[in-house]
Amino acid sequence: MAIRNIREIGEEVLTRKCREVTEMTPRIRELIEDMLETMYEANGVGLAAPQVGVLKRIVVIDTTGEDPHILINPRIVESSGEQTGQEGCLSVPGKSGQVTRPNYVKVVALDVNMKEFELEGTELLARAICHELDHLDGHLYVEKVEGPLRDVTEDAEE
């Protein structure tokens, strides 16, 4: 496993639409392992493949530090409610901003064995799912921020 370099706002790779994963390969398994390690090392709660420069529809999320979710080709099939709160991103270091997201989402994705599964999330998990899935279509939370971006020092970032 290896820590990968996290791409930052301004880099073109963060604005592109990612491609679906069609088969699991050793290379993609290694990418997923590296994404988890990179996310934990950066104290993030989520990381999308384009953030490490790979245009594939893969995200990793762990909002508790002990419950990693690996989502391949994820799509939101249900959402409801609303939450407004501070959000950050490992690709926008040192900043946070207020974003409104659904308070509940249900996502369908493939696991590392390319088997379909469902994941439901509320509150922080729902926020992280929405945030990370936006990355797969080339969008950053700063496009959705209500009001100014704030400077932060030690907040958990996504």
Catalytic positions are 132
Rounded to a whole number of angstroms, the minimum distance from the CB of residue 51 to Zn ion is 6
* Choices 11-19, 55-63, 114-122, 150-158; region in contact with Zn ion by CB under 5 A: 150-158
Residue closer to Zn ion by CB (options 34, 158) is 158
* Residue number, 71 or 89, with CB nearest to Zn ion: 89
C-alpha span between 46 and 39 (Å, rounded)? 6
Q: Which helix (H) or strand (E) holds 33?
A: helix 26-41
Q: What is d(CA 70, CA 82) in angstroms, rounded to the nearest whole number?
A: 24
Minimum Å gap between C-beta 102 and Zn ion is 17
Terminal-to-terminal C-alpha distance of the chain: 21
Distance of CA 138 to the CA centre of its chain: 12
Are the CB atoms for 100 and 84 separated by under 8 Å?
A: yes
The single residue among 14, 39, 59, 89 that binds Zn ion, judged by CB under 5 A, is 89
Binding mask 34-73 for Zn ion (x = CB under 5 A): ----------------------------------------
133 part of the interface to Zn ion, by CB under 5 A: no
